[in-house]
Amino acid sequence: MTKQQEVPKDGSNDSGEVQVKNPHLNEQIDDVLYHFGLARSDTNFPELFGDVKYVCTGGSPTRIKMYAELFSQDSGLPLSQNLSRSDRFVMFKTGAILWVNHGMGVPSMSIMLNECIKLLHYAHARDVSFIRIGTSGGIDVLPGTVVVSNGTLNGLFEEAHTQYINGKIVKREAKLNPELAKELYNSGVSENLPVAHGKTLCADDFYEGQMRLDGAFCEYDVNEKADFIARLKDNGVRNIEMEATGFASFTTRANVKGAIICVALLNRLNGDQVTLDKATYIDYELRPFKLVSSFLRGKIAQM
Ligand code: R2B
Ligand code: URA
């Protein structure tokens, strides 16, 4: 097998292509996307994925599969089989839209994004947008509100994604695309969904990292928790989840637009436990999908 098409040394890319910045990839004869079970040598990426314009992602594999199936019904586009050959992530395609799950938290999501970004780069996909459709804990919003993120904060209230690399902390900008956020918000309004704009706090875990009082361990008191939630509110934060800063940083580095739409499962001003009955949970998890489905159908009509 011959060497694959070269990655530009300076990473420059004004063609709208999904961007990777790693000169070492040029030295590789093949590239195995281990967590999808796909390799350049055994999969025709341009043929399968060259037309992708939107990547819709969310944590749970069954929810992403359900979204892909529903979107196929909503749009009339045929649904692919699961294109992932590993049990780590699922991947479905409906026309120009790819549906991939990312698991819980930035570490899991970053594996998926690394491999998905390389896959789309090798496929020569252009002008791609990534939309994370998820669940979250709301800050001063009614349960069921769909929060369209207009910024992301790490646990130090910085608009940055922090990573440990080479024994050091590396901080990267974590911005989302404001125009895409606005368009998605407008789709929510036109679908009569309860939508809100706001910043999203990205926590490193579900319990202490989100100042819950119901984890296995807790070394702060109820007043400290209340102060934290009040501080979030003062900083314009409308919800807490576990991927936002990583997602914003990766999409920016890959030269793709990024947006995050999460339904609030509860209002953290009123408690910590998620106690929704099944029917309400299904109703809530469909809300961000309905918004994105309406937005995507509008885009498809213009393609
Ligand atoms: C929201 O929900 C998950 C935790 O329950 C996590 O992936 C997130 O961001
Ligand atoms: N996901 C989170 O990360 N936090 C919540 O409170 C709910 C869902």
- ipTM associated with this complex: 0.99
Tokens of 35: 């967590």
Residue 15: per-residue pLDDT? 80
**Alpha carbons 239 and 267: distance in angstroms, whole number:** 9
Look up the pTM and report it: 0.95
- Nearest residue to 153 (alpha-carbon basis) of 236, 230, 212: 236
Taking the centre of ligand 2 as the mean of its atom positions, its distance from the CA of residue 79, in whole angstroms, is: 30
- Nearest residue to 35 (alpha-carbon basis) of 90, 82, 88, 104: 88
Strands 146-153 and 129-138: unpaired
Return the SS3 of 292.
helix
Q: What is the CA radius of gyration of the chain?
A: 19
Atom of ligand 1 nearest to the CA of 136: 1
Give the number of other Cβ atoms within 10 Å of residue 223's Cβ. Answer: 8
Taking the centre of ligand 2 as the mean of its atom positions, its distance from the CA of residue 93, in whole angstroms, is: 27
- Give, for ligand 1, the residue of 136, 268, 274 to mutate: max count of ligand atoms closer than 8 Å to Cβ: 136
**Alpha carbons 82 and 274: distance in angstroms, whole number:** 30
Residue 14: per-residue pLDDT? 65
135 in ligand 1 pocket by Cβ < 6 Å?
Answer: yes
Which bound ligand lies closest to the C-alpha atom of 106? 1
**Alpha carbons 154 and 102: distance in angstroms, whole number:** 19
Sites in the chain below the pLDDT cut of 50: 1-4, 7, 9-12
- Give, for ligand 1, the residue of 153, 206, 240 to mutate: max count of ligand atoms closer than 8 Å to Cβ: 206
Vertex 91 angle, CA 242 and 151, to 5°: 30
137 in ligand 2 pocket by Cβ < 6 Å?
Answer: yes
Residue 6: per-residue pLDDT? 54
Atom of ligand 1 nearest to the CA of 206: 4
State the DSSP H helix or E strand holding residue 58, giving kind and residue range, or none if neither. Answer: strand 54-58
- Ordered alpha helix ranges (H), 50-105: 61-75
70, 293 contact by CB (below 8 A): yes
Taking the centre of ligand 2 as the mean of its atom positions, its distance from the CA of residue 136, in whole angstroms, is: 4
Taking the centre of ligand 1 as the mean of its atom positions, its distance from the CA of residue 156, in whole angstroms, is: 19
Burial code (b: 16+ CB inside 10 Å, e: under 16) for 31-54 equals bebebbbbebeebebeebbebbbb
**Alpha carbons 254 and 135: distance in angstroms, whole number:** 24
For residues 37, 128, 297 and 87, what is the CA-based torsion angle, rounded to 10 degrees?
10
Which bound ligand lies closest to the C-alpha atom of 267? 2
Which bound ligand lies closest to the C-alpha atom of 244? 1
Atom of ligand 1 nearest to the CA of 242: 9
**Alpha carbons 301 and 298: distance in angstroms, whole number:** 5
Torsion-angle region of 59 (φ positive above 0: left; ψ -120 to 50: alpha; else: beta): alpha
Task: State the greatest distance between any 2 C-alpha atoms of the chain, in Å, as a whole number.
Answer: 63
Taking the centre of ligand 1 as the mean of its atom positions, its distance from the CA of residue 301, in whole angstroms, is: 32
242 in ligand 2 pocket by Cβ < 6 Å?
Answer: yes
Return the SS3 of 102.
coil
Return the SS3 of 60.
coil
147, 141 contact by CB (below 8 A): yes
Taking CA atoms, 205 is separated from 239, 241, 242, 251, 252, in Å, by 14, 9, 7, 22, 23
265 in ligand 2 pocket by Cβ < 6 Å?
Answer: yes
| pLDDT tens track for 237-270 | 999 999 999 999 999 999 999 999 999 999 999 9
247 in ligand 1 pocket by Cβ < 6 Å?
Answer: no
100, 89 contact by CB (below 8 A): yes
